[in-house]
Amino acid sequence: MSAIEIKHLTYTYSKKTPFEHTALKDVSFVVEEGETFGIIGETGSGKSTLIQHLNALIKMKDGEGTILGKSLKDKKQLRQIRFDVGMVFQYPEYQLFADTVEQDVAFGPKNMGLQKVEIERRVRRAIELVGLDFEKFAKRSPFELSGGEKRRVAIAGVIAMEPKILVLDEPTAGLDPQGREDILALVKKLKEEVCPTIIIVTHNMDEIAKEADHIIALFKGEIIYNGTPLEVFSHEDFKEKTRLEYPTATYIANEIRKQGVDIKQVVTPEELVSELARIKEGKNV
């Protein structure tokens, strides 16, 4: 069973008004369980609309979709789907509202109607998973934390619901380089320990090239490319068709190739380094 199957999804905002705007056009894709799945596209390409369909925040109108075997069109299942798919939105720190970190993280589990003991267990586990000291942070106000800490608390709030699929919308937006690295390390840790299926929405091609097993690239609501990072970034018209940039490693490899050097397609810095090493050795021999 695939984690997510979406078929022929089309969505139009403000239908039949002068503000009508088609955000998604005939979108179909499959996410396998255990995959890290990347969704890339320029601003306004429909990424946010797409992910809001995945936990039924937007009701599916045209198309079919199943999440872990449950239909997105079956009204009785929507609540369960919402708990199965954890959603970390852009700048999630803006969702914080409670008096203490503990209460804020407990909001989701409480809405699920869990027992008090279970809620406490989950809250403690989630706060520790995101790398915060429970004893130190639990009773503090979320509003007096630093930006990076706030984001961790917000992510903990989603993790505490123990979702089976985790969707992260621009998880590193607005963070400094160290903060980005920390959050990416956290995502990796969450994938290993909590939730193997992860969907990341991003503008950052370097991050997605490194993390994702599979990518879809959206442009004006349509899927332009669907494949592994290597497949997607190998397209020569990638830049024109999606208005995105290549990952830095791919860009450098492309420039080297233009100089007449026979270099294989790469997407990550590690691949680039080993490819350059191979060429260097070949020349020395």
Residues that bind another protein (CB under 8 A): 13-14, 18-19, 21, 23, 44, 48-49, 52, 55, 57, 79, 82-83, 86-87, 89, 92, 94-98, 107-108, 111-112, 143, 157-158, 161
Of 52 and 268, CB closest to another protein: 52
**Measured from the CB atom, is 49 or 242 closer to another protein?**
49
Tell me if 134 sits within 8 A of 127, measured CB to CB.
Answer: yes
Q: How far is the CB of 38 from another protein (least distance, A)?
A: 20
Q: Taking the complex as a whole, how short is the minimal distance between the CB of residue 186 and another protein, in angstroms?
A: 19
Residue 8 or 79: which CB sits closer to another protein? 79
* Cα-to-chain-centroid distance, residue 144: 27
In the bound complex, what is the minimum distance in angstroms from residue 163's beta carbon to another protein?
A: 10
Report the residue number, 48 or 250, with the smaller CB distance to another protein: 48
Phi-psi map region of 30: left, alpha, beta (phi>0 left; psi -120 to 50 alpha) = beta
Task: Give me the least distance between CB of 48 and another protein, in Å please.
Answer: 7
Kindly state the smallest distance separating residue 130's Cβ from another protein, in Å: 15
Indicate the residue among 88 and 244 with the shorter CB distance to another protein. 88
